[in-house]
Amino acid sequence: MTGTQQNQAKAPGSAANPALSLDESALESTYAALRGIAAPITRLPSKVLGQVFVRCLPATNLNAVLCAELPPLVLGRVCSGWRTAAWTTPVLWTRLHVAVAHVCARPGAAAAIEAWVQRADYLPLRLSVAYRPGQSVDAGFLRWLMALCEGRLAHLQLIDPPLALDADLQSVRSLRITSTPDALGHRDHAMWAVPQLTALALDLRRGAPVGERFGREFFALPLRWGQLTCAALRDAVEPGVIAELLRRCPGLRRLVVRVQAPFRSAADPALVSHSALEALIMLGGDNASGHDVTDFLTAAVALPNLRRLSLPATTTGDLPLALGTLFPRLTELSLSLKSVRRNTLLAALNGTSTLMALDLRYDAGPVGWSLPQLLELLAAPDRMPLLDRITLDCVGDFELAEIPVSDALRRIVAARAGTLRALRLCKPQHADREEWARVCAAAATLGAAELVSLAEMRVDEDTRLFGPTGLRRGTDSPKAGAWEGTPAVSTDWMSV
- Write the DSSP string, 351-393: T-TT--EEEEEE--STTS--HHHHHHHHT-TTSSTT--EEEEE
**pLDDT of amino acid 338:** 75
For residues 143 and 192, membership in a common domain is answered with: yes
Structural domain contains residue 10: no
The residue-averaged pLDDT of 64-91 equals 82
For residues 102 and 216, membership in a common domain is answered with: yes
Q: CA 411 to CA 393: how far, in whole Å?
A: 19
Which residues 6+ apart lie within 8 Å of 482 measured at CB?
Answer: 1, 67, 68, 102, 106
For residue 46, report the phi and psi dihedrals to the nearest 5 degrees. Answer: -60, -40
Q: Higher model confidence: residue 450 or residue 465?
A: 450
Percentage above 90 pLDDT, the chain? 15
Distances (CA, A) of 372 to 216, 365, 398, 434, 440: 46, 14, 13, 18, 15
Does residue 275 surpass a pLDDT of 50?
yes
Partners of 334 in the β-ladder: 310, 359
For residues 75 and 118, membership in a common domain is answered with: no
Q: CA 282 to CA 279: how far, in whole Å?
A: 10
pLDDT band at 104 (very low <50, low <70, confident <90, very high): confident
Structural domain contains residue 351: no
**pLDDT of amino acid 33:** 67
Handedness of CA 230, 224, 162, 241 (dihedral sign): negative
Does residue 375 surpass a pLDDT of 90?
no
Percentage above 70 pLDDT, the chain? 68
For residues 125 and 72, membership in a common domain is answered with: no
pLDDT in tens, 425-435: 877 666 667 77
| Region of poorest pLDDT, from 139-143, 195-199, 234-238, 264-268 | 264-268
For residues 74 and 148, membership in a common domain is answered with: no
pLDDT in tens, 387-426: 999 988 876 655 556 567 777 888 888 888 888 888 888 7
Cα dihedral 104/108/112/118 (nearest 10): 110
For residues 182 and 52, membership in a common domain is answered with: no
First-to-last alpha carbon distance for the chain, in angstroms, is 36
Q: Can you give the residue range of the structural domain that contains 387?
A: 356-465+490-496
pLDDT in tens, 191-222: 677 888 899 888 765 544 554 567 777 888 88
**pLDDT of amino acid 430:** 66
**469, 62 Cβ separation under 8 angstroms:** no
For residues 79 and 110, membership in a common domain is answered with: no
Q: CA 313 to CA 336: how far, in whole Å?
A: 5
Does residue 457 surpass a pLDDT of 90?
no
Based on its alpha-carbon atoms, the radius of gyration of the chain, rounded to whole angstroms, reads 27
Total count of domains within the chain: 3
For residues 156 and 189, membership in a common domain is answered with: yes
Examine the fold and report which residue of 93, 126, 150 is the final residue of a domain before the chain moves on: 93
pLDDT band at 483 (very low <50, low <70, confident <90, very high): very low
Does residue 347 surpass a pLDDT of 80?
yes
Q: Higher model confidence: residue 229 or residue 481?
A: 229
**pLDDT of amino acid 29:** 72
**pLDDT of amino acid 170:** 78
Question: What's the longest Cα–Cα distance across the chain?
Answer: 98
3-state class of 191 per DSSP? helix
The residue-averaged pLDDT of 491-495 equals 46
**pLDDT of amino acid 349:** 92
pLDDT band at 356 (very low <50, low <70, confident <90, very high): very high
Summary mean pLDDT of the chain: 75
Which residues 6+ apart lie within 8 Å of 453 measured at CB?
Answer: 422, 423, 424, 425
pLDDT in tens, 19-56: 445 567 777 777 766 666 666 777 788 888 888 888 87
Structural domain contains residue 30: no
Report strand pairing: 254-259 vs 272-273: unpaired
Does residue 323 surpass a pLDDT of 60?
yes
pTM score of the predicted model? 0.78
Does residue 379 surpass a pLDDT of 60?
yes
For residues 65 and 136, membership in a common domain is answered with: no
**pLDDT of amino acid 154:** 85
CB atoms within 10 A of CB 263: 26
Examine the fold and report which residue of 197, 214, 236 is the final residue of a domain before the chain moves on: 236
Partners of 335 in the β-ladder: 311, 360
**pLDDT of amino acid 37:** 65
Structural domain contains residue 249: no
